[in-house]
Chain A
């Protein structure tokens, strides 16, 4: 084998000089992709990771009530715990009172069980009067709720550092005093209903959007340029209008004394004193959401239909098919990628909607996203909001996965 090296013009071995050039190129490529990569990490990976973490992280309260939780771990949750638990609780609360940080455990415990807020506050106020020994009696004397099993079970449930309790709550389950999973009391089972309702609304809105968008897209794709342009503007115009404006316009149109109802009465379909309710029920939600999400179905369908050559339909007919058969066997299968893309877009957007249904849907308009917003803004139970958000995310990914299995994600076409 020859040991002679091939040299480049400036005397450096070709291999090295090639590697150098390659490195430069690689560096350039990384620099080009880098910003986008960072952007993805900062805006997607990090927040979603934070959300996942938050939904199971429960360490803050463990750090604030260390003695209590160590003591309560030995308790079996049946009869009231003994003196050591109360003594430890006294020690922790006294420490928190001294540092004025007891406020932070209040909110956390109140999520576990309503009434803890005032219970802790009242107890802390009277803590100065406690005498040494016999803490159990003194606690119960300050407030009889310290003698109720429920409150101490809730305290025990708050002890682990990491917990899936929020996920259980998201499907109306909870831990009981033995640590086994049971259903929430009947009058507090709310989340399952909301999940089902959210899916139902998203499903029907997708169906309605499809029914309306298909002919529109067909017209858009087949009409001569000058008409289809005009039609395109009609599709896009609402797209550029604020969501709230469109929702409130629907509220004006759909109300019982509104123009659509006037028209129905004038045409004689309903008596003046028995006007149909078009809003503050599911009808309102479906109508407004379908209109708002329609462009997301029209655009993918249109871009797919645009690429289908009209000669294919003619070929189908010339081979003896009726127009319907030609449509069903030739045209429709070719539009499936567009249908897939549109449906997926509309469904995923619809599943996260909440302003529109809240405004026009009345009692039926509260969906799972409203609950997330409520826990973000009002109750400040961010870990529960994070758990619900994660469940929603997993749900969407599952739908994506099923879609991939059934239709194949490569078949999706946005244009």
Chain B
């Protein structure tokens, strides 16, 4: 008996070593999102290259990888991160700098990778994988009339009831600025110019504060992406900001919610590769990353979730393959945050603005919340 348990122990030890040596570990946010990544491009990549891909969940931020690096034992290869984290990670030397057109596959028609995506990358360590949106939605059973613009989100006379807002200042102050009548301009330039001006942030925060203190309004602050559709479905709030993919999934499940795209904030999710990760030197991590961010790869994930692949060529594949959604009857391109009907007035999240100001704005924001 004792021998057997020893044998098992040794076996599991060997197994754990071999799997960790062979599999490329990709770290992402979990839930429906990781599911879409795994089914959309993770599994096909693993099959094609013969390199197992191992998915791990985390809750964002660079603290874990920084700790791994400080401890000298890195176990992650590729991380799904926010734009500002790619900047910080690149500055701190945590991530590998890419030679973009060499490292990433061209589009099927030969277009260079750097010409195939919608905008430039925020840092040399980033490669985009999806575009998602911070938009807002309402439950049509609980709202009289149809909110159409971001001004309606703040209009408690016409649409009384509580609003759900993200717990942080990010996204909240942008829509507040837009609701004060500032047009987004090219990719939201004008919004960020106003916010960066003296007192700009204070005015935007005051706008949110007024909404929260309005007896006809009021705020619920959400933490997790699953909350906004839920708060709308159970009538806790009448309108909620949130991530469009979550709203879409709720709609597919039959929740009577409607998304509004005016002043939506387009944001990228990125992959970054860990410098000195277990599969950095042997090149496997790079191979996997190249395959996952190829035209077919990125189009694949949009089969499972309403986030847009960043490659223009991926959209073409989707259009040719409609109905693209996994149920086989829903056309996906119209639900993409990048669809022309949805981008009439949009803001592109400005990571540089946030990298510069997040701490200061964060403090002001928390001070406002503490005074509610």
**Interface, chain A (partner B; CB < 8 A):** 101-104, 106-107, 110-111, 113-118, 187-190, 193-194, 197, 255-258, 280, 358-359, 362-364, 366, 371, 374, 376-382
Contact = CB atoms under 8 A, between A and B. Distances in A.
B88 A193 contact: no
Given A118-B352, A188-B367, A377 B223 contact: no
Interface stretch (B26-34, B40-48, B61-69, B314-322): B61-69
Interface in B353-367: 355-364, 366-367
A379 B362 contact: yes
- B-side interface size class: 35 or more
Interface string B327-370: 00000000000000000000000001001111111111011011
Given A190-B367, A366-B366, A257 B356 contact: no
Given A106-B91, A374-B362, A363 B221 contact: yes
A371 to B, nearest CB: 8
Contact of B359 (A101, A103, A110, A257): A110
Interface string B70-109: 0000000000000000011011110000000000000000
Interface in B117-171: 167
B212 A193 contact: no
B59 interface: yes
A117 B364 contact: no
Given A103-B90, A115-B356, A377-B61, A358 B223 contact: yes
**Which of B93, B236, B352: most chain A Cβ within 10 A?**
B236
Given A377-B63, A379-B359, A380-B62, A256 B202 contact: no
A256 B364 CA distance: 30
The 3 closest A-B pairs by CB, nearest first: A103-B91, A377-B61, A114-B360
Q: Provide the main secondary structure of the chain B interface.
A: helix
B220 interface: yes
A380 to B, nearest CB: 6
A190 B363 contact: yes
A371 B366 CA distance: 10
Interface in B189-211: 202
Contacts of B88: 107, 380
Contacts of A106: 91
B1 interface: no
B89 to A, nearest CB: 9
Nearest to B93: A103
Nearest to A169: B363
A146 to B, nearest CB: 15
A378 B168 CA distance: 11
B355 A118 contact: yes
B234 interface: yes
B34 to A, nearest CB: 18
B91 A107 contact: yes
Contacts of A371: 366
12 contacts: A103-B90, A114-B357, A115-B356, A117-B355, A190-B370, A358-B167, A362-B220, A362-B221, A363-B219, A363-B370, A377-B59, A377-B61
B63 A376 contact: yes
A106 B92 CA distance: 9
A114 B356 contact: yes
Contact of B370 (A110, A197, A379): A197
A278 to B, nearest CB: 11
Contacts of B92: 103-104, 107
Contacts of B366: 190, 194, 366, 371
B4 interface: no
Contacts of A111: 359
Contacts of A194: 366, 370
Nearest to A113: B360
A407 B220 CA distance: 42
A280 B220 contact: yes
Interface in B270-315: none
Contacts of B62: 380
Contacts of B352: 117-118
B91 A188 contact: no
A187 B202 CA distance: 9
A194 B363 CA distance: 12
Given A110-B359, A117-B87, 15 more contacts: A110-B355, A110-B356, A114-B357, A114-B360, A115-B357, A118-B356, A188-B360, A194-B366, A358-B223, A363-B370, A366-B370, A374-B362, A377-B61, A379-B358, A380-B88
A189 B61 contact: no
A126 B51 CA distance: 43
A103 B372 CA distance: 38
A379 B170 CA distance: 13
A364 B367 contact: no
A110 B370 CA distance: 24
Contacts of B90: 103
A332 B56 CA distance: 53
B361 to A, nearest CB: 8
Given A103-B93, A257-B234, A374-B362, A363 B357 contact: no
Contacts of B91: 102-104, 106-107
